[in-house]
Amino acid sequence: MTIRAVVRGVGHYLPARVVPNAEFETRLDTTDEWIRTRTGIERRHFAAEGETTSDLGAKAAEAALADAGLAAADLDAIVLATSTADLTFPAAATMVQQKIGMTNGFAFDVQAVCAGFVFALANANALIQSGQARRVLVIGAETFSRILDFEDRGTCVLFGDGAGAVVLEAAEGKGTAADRGILATDLHSDGSYRDLLYVDGGVSTTGTAGQVRMQGNQVFRHAVEKLAETAHAALDKAGLSGADVDWIVPHQANLRIIAATAQRMQVPMERVVVTVQDHGNTSAASIPLALSVGKARGQIKEGDLIVTEAIGGGLSWGAVVLRW
Ligand code: ACO
């Protein structure tokens, strides 16, 4: 008997304000055409003034709980991935806990930038497999619009705000790749790549939140190489290959990165959930958003084999193989 962390519910929330590419044309030397062709992004959502990461996360959490048919009191833990927490402390996860009315269990944040949700899933899986929790709410929530330099055309057109969440629940499996739930995880980071993608501020340096700085073409090169490698490694650990994959649900940063990774995994684009055109890069929120949208579109169904893969600042990257 093997304990598996099975997805019982999924949900998402996007702030009301939609920002089309055309809005950037008015104040920057850029065009809708450039943004679409280089990134696949057509629009993104930005949070309203006063709307915080934990507000978005709580709404996604409530949607995931409703989908699971569970109440907040049924949860043992919340793991929230974000780089844009409401405050330096406490953890945004505890603010979500308060907003959804959960007073039991424990809650903490995970910081692995765009790879955050993959790291959070792996942590939640470990909590469940080690018997420390039976039901874990895993959230990715971001308000990246708050750390963008709106004068820098190379970064500000790429990101958006949003949140997604899944409820994981312990279930008995046979220990084979036919089980539902998380089958394998593969995580990496290498801090020597710090300067490729970082925020130029923080508590113990400038005392300010800072803004995103990125060497886009270098990140692009690492992304294509490392995402396919980690996805293959996770599939190997599960005893599976690209041919077994029903859906790649990738981090949504750039359509060209998504397509190049799928090609390296020999998975056709018809089997990739793509939401980047509507959400932009929502960092740690992008995979749970895509899982929720993919299910709502009727793409993801019970029993499907899913590979999620992501890379972000650090660099940090990883993949999770799960059967829905
Ligand atoms: N509009 C018009 N021109 C632009 C824009 C813009 N919004 N942004 C950059 N350019 C210009 C550059 O200034 C450069 O001009 P130059 O040749 O005169 O110097 C030219 O376009 C080419 O720049 P590159 O950076 O080489 O363009 P590239 O084809 O690599 O595309 C992009 C840039 C879209 C940022 C790409 O590198 C990318 O997507 N990288 C991945 C970065 C990413 O997604 N990071 C998110 C976090 S990590 C992750 O999630 C994977």
Nearest to 44 by CA among 74, 77, 22: 22
Atom of ligand 1 lying closest to residue 283 CA: 50
Atom of ligand 1 lying closest to residue 38 CA: 34
- Is the pLDDT assigned to residue 171 strictly greater than 90? yes
Give the span between the Cα atoms of 68 and 221, in whole angstroms.
Answer: 39
Closest-CA residue, ligand 1 atom 22, reads 217
Catalytic annotation present for 156: no
Residue 110's pLDDT is: 98
Catalytic annotation present for 114: yes
Average pLDDT score over residue span 227-238: 98
pLDDT in tens, 128-145: 999 999 999 999 999 999
All CATH 3.40.47.10 domain ranges in the chain, comma separated: 2-173, 181-323
How far does the centroid of ligand 1 lie from the alpha carbon of residue 154, in Å? 5
Q: Where are the alpha helices (DSSP H) in 144-203?
A: 153-156
**Ligand 1 near 34 CB (within 6 A):** yes
Catalytic annotation present for 123: no
Average pLDDT score over residue span 147-172: 98
Residue among 114, 123, 125, 156 flagged as catalytic: 114
Q: Which CATH homologous superfamily contains domain 2-173?
A: Thiolase/Chalcone synthase (3.40.47.10)
pLDDT in tens, 74-110: 999 999 999 999 999 999 999 999 999 999 999 999 9
Average pLDDT score over residue span 294-323: 98
Q: Per-residue confidence at 283, pLDDT binned at 50, 70, 90? A: very high
The CATH number assigned to the domain with range 181-323 reads 3.40.47.10
Average pLDDT, the chain: 97
Nearest to 115 by CA among 296, 321, 313: 313
Average pLDDT score over residue span 112-127: 98
pTM (two decimals): 0.97
Q: Per-residue confidence at 1, pLDDT binned at 50, 70, 90? A: confident
Residue 262's pLDDT is: 96
How far does the centroid of ligand 1 lie from the alpha carbon of residue 186, in Å? 28
**Residue located via tokens 């997805």:** 7
